[in-house]
Amino acid sequence: MYPRLSDLFTDYLGFSLPIPINSFGFMVAVGAMIGAWILQKEFDRMYAIGQLNGVKIPDPEQKGKGRKRMVTVSPSFVVGTITMIVIGVGFLGARLFHILENLDQFFRSPAQMIFTTGGFTFYGGLILGSYAVVRFVRKKGLDLGSVADAMAPGLIIAYGIGRIGCHLSGDGDWGVAADVAAKPEWIPMWLWAETYPNNILGIDLSMTPVYPTPLYEFAMAAVIFAILWSFRKHVHRTGWLFWVYLVFNGAERFFIEKIRVNNTMEIFGQTVTQAELIAMSLILIGVIGVVKTWAPGDRDLSSAEKGTSETGGASAAGE
């Protein structure tokens, strides 16, 4: 494993980077940039066909001319701000939820848990990050449902890329002990059981290889991304695609928890994890949202599509 990219450069290129860049942080940054690029493209597409209104900014051509005139541009102009909100508030929420999952460790060593480079819970980042983005989107006067639809594909692929960072660093987001004897012959050993040598936690797994669940989550995220990407141009009511994302996201996390190491709790005699509870809640919320926005006879049309329909109707009336 390569907790720091400098280790990878040393092994494969023969020289050390002067700055030890953490693999997890680097992959999260890569995921965020790719997610932001996808969001920018979607904002431009939706703005061009009238599915999303623009944002007002000072006219750049009036620089230095006193009070500036406001002009309307594609909402892709604010993608950078949205990305920074997601990263900043998301990391804060992820750390907070990790602390809540491990209160016993926090009380023993608060400073270590607060300032460590590891220890993040994705759903904490999703919940707090979503709240912050919602406030920003409303402040800008953008349609919340349309923005959520545009963000859905980028969110899931960014999550998957972040999981590659977990795998490279060996931050503990791995699975339970793998049943090596049950491995099918066609599956390579590195995809079935991993010992995570040189992992950032310093845990020796050489005698008990585990399932490399971050790789499984990346694969599932890629599949979900492909599904959402194929659905994005399908005519639907605003918000529908985001609710579909929640269902897939919750289902992916719920099933991966079955073979993943995590803290458990007892509820009504059942042993569950915090992630499973949140995943089930997301699935339920997503299903309700899908049902409420799935109305084939009353789908939202973009301005361009409405204009086409009206033109067609006028022509028919003239005939």
Give DSSP secondary structure letters for 217-284: HHHHHHHHHHHHHHHTTS---TTHHHHHHHHHHHHHHHHHGGGB---EEEETTEEEEHHHHHHHHHHH
190-245 pLDDT per residue, tens: 999 999 998 888 899 999 999 999 999 999 999 999 999 999 888 778 899 999 99
Contact 65, 89 (CB under 8 A): no
**Residue-averaged pLDDT of the chain:** 82
Q: What is the pLDDT of residue 101?
A: 66
pLDDT confidence band for 120 (50 / 70 / 90): low
Contact 217, 160 (CB under 8 A): yes
Tokens of 235: 């005519």
127 pLDDT band, cuts 50/70/90, is confident
Dihedral angle sign, alpha carbons of residues 307, 308, 309, 312: positive
Q: What value does the mean pLDDT take over residues 256-266? A: 81
The most confident of the ranges 5-9, 23-27, 163-167 is: 163-167
Token output for 88? 């900043």
Q: Specify the pLDDT at position 311.
A: 37
Residue range 13-72, pLDDT digits in tens: 766 766 777 888 889 889 999 999 999 999 999 999 988 888 887 776 666 565 667 788
pTM score? 0.81
pLDDT tier for residue 125 given thresholds of 50, 70 and 90 = confident
Q: What is the DSSP string of 102-145?
A: THHHHHH-HHHHHH-S----HHHHHHHHHHHHHHHHHHTT--HH
Question: 180: which DSSP letter?
Answer: G
pLDDT band for position 163 (cuts 50, 70, 90):
very high
pLDDT in tens, 133-150: 899 999 988 999 999 999
Is 315's pLDDT higher than 80? no
Q: What's residue 302's pLDDT?
A: 43
Q: What is the pLDDT of residue 118?
A: 58
Q: pLDDT grade, residue 116 (50/70/90)?
A: low
Encode pLDDT of 282-308 as tens digits.
Answer: 999 999 999 988 765 444 444 444 443
